[in-house]
Every structure is written in structure tokens, then in C-alpha cells.
Amino acid sequence: MPAEALRDALAVFWEKGYQATSLDDLTAAMHLSRSSFYACFGSKHAVMMAAVELYANELFARLEALAASSMPAIESIHAVLAAIAEVDAGPRGCFFVNSVTELAPHDAALAAFGQHHVARTGALVIGLLERAGFGPETAHARAAALLALVIGTITLRKAGLPVAELQAILSQAQLLLADTTSAA
């Protein structure tokens, strides 16, 4: 798959959503004829899946790099959450969250990939929590709560809440990261 054309498709889907994006929108943005589009990608759905996977995989690579940094585990968790939330990225939302909320209820392939991406992101956060001294059960429960907090923050960003309010919401993660002495 030509990477540049896929990135162009991702931009269109991110701007319009899957349902509102026409084949003409895609072929124009991707600089492809209809026959070339079908020959290269097969279908609109295949392009959407590839775009979501590209976006999620690139995000996850950034999160892994933050987790592997030399920062203390708690700082790494905050950095991971901030990278996911992107509180100053404006109201377009997160492409992954937008796509999953639009399509997953009726698209088994996207739902399965969404579950995979959430699970691997959760496992990354669980590993950081365990590195910070939390026991496995506590780490699992708090990772789920932290991911819910960050996805909620993304949704509120899309709704247009000011950056300062989003930062205040995201700072509530401190409460879930406090008290590692009784967390084991």
C-alpha cells in the first residue's frame, strides 16, 4: 500500500468520518483513479482499517518509547497519558477514538482491532504501574481507570473544552497514582 496515499486517506477520514467520506473524496485526496484505488486498496473499508491501524501503531510506538525512557515509572505514566490525551490538539479528537466510536458497534473487524489496541495500551500502563510498585491486581484496575480517564479527556477535548480544563481533568490521574505503599 502506498504509504503517502494511505496518509492522505487517513486525513480525509479524520476530517469527515467514515460514513461521510465518499469514494470521490478518497480518490481525490489520494490522487488515484477509481480503478487504481480498487487495485491498490480493494475497498473503502480496507483503506479505513489500514488507516486506523497505521495511526494506532504509530501512537503505540510513541507510547512504548515513553515507557522505555529513563524517567521514573510514575513520570512515564504521566507522559504516556499526556501523549494519548493531547489536550492542546484541538477539537478534532483522536482518530482512533473517533473511528471506534463511529464504526465499532457495527464493524467486527474494527471492534477487534480496537480491543487489541486498548489491550496493548493497557498492558503497557500495567507494566509501568507494576514498575512503580503497584501489585498486579491494583495495577490492572488502575490502568483501566487511567485509560478511561484519558479517553474521557479526549472526548471532552473534541467537545471543545478549554485546554486548562482538560489539563485539570487529566491531573486527576495523580489520585490513581498516589500511595504505592498500600497498592501491592
Chain centroid, CA 150 distance in Å? 10
pLDDT, tens only, 55-112: 999 999 999 999 999 999 999 999 999 999 999 999 989 999 999 999 999 999 999 9
Query: For the segment 140-183, what is each residue's pLDDT rounded down to a tens digit?
Result: 999 999 999 999 999 999 999 999 999 999 999 999 998 655 44
- Predicted local confidence at residue 2, as pLDDT: 80
User: Is-contact 84 59, C-beta < 8 A?
Assistant: yes
CA dist., res. 151 & res. 134, Å (int):
22
